[in-house]
Amino acid sequence: MADEEIQGAGGPLAPPSETVHLPDPSFQPILVAFAVTVILFGVVKSWIICGFGILLLLYVLAKWIRDVRNDISDLPLEHH
């Protein structure tokens, strides 16, 4: 099947002209969800726990934003 041409309504289809960029897998969305859970638990139980959750959330978001910026800067210019 790889050697066969793919036929469209007007004849053979052109090969794809762009590549698709997918980010690397990451635990950061899970950590953000955990930090929000800690914040909500802290609102009910203790402001100290809430503060820890806020610090964790800020740390994970900063790291996530930094990783995305580094990932985007590594792309070729035509992908920007």
- Domain count across the chain: 1
66 vs 64: CA distance, rounded Å: 5
pTM (predicted TM-score) = 0.69
Q: Which domain holds residue 43?
A: 27-71
Classify 7 as helix, strand or coil: strand
> Is 20 within a domain?
no
For 30, the enclosing helix (H) or strand (E) is helix 28-45
Mean pLDDT calculated for residue range 23-40: 94
Which residues is 8 bridged to in the sheet? 11
- Give pLDDT tens digits for 35-62: 999 999 999 999 999 999 999 999 999 9
> Is 7 within a domain?
no
> Is 76 within a domain?
no
CA angle 77, 24, 62 (to 5 degrees): 85
67 vs 47: CA distance, rounded Å: 30
> Is 17 within a domain?
no
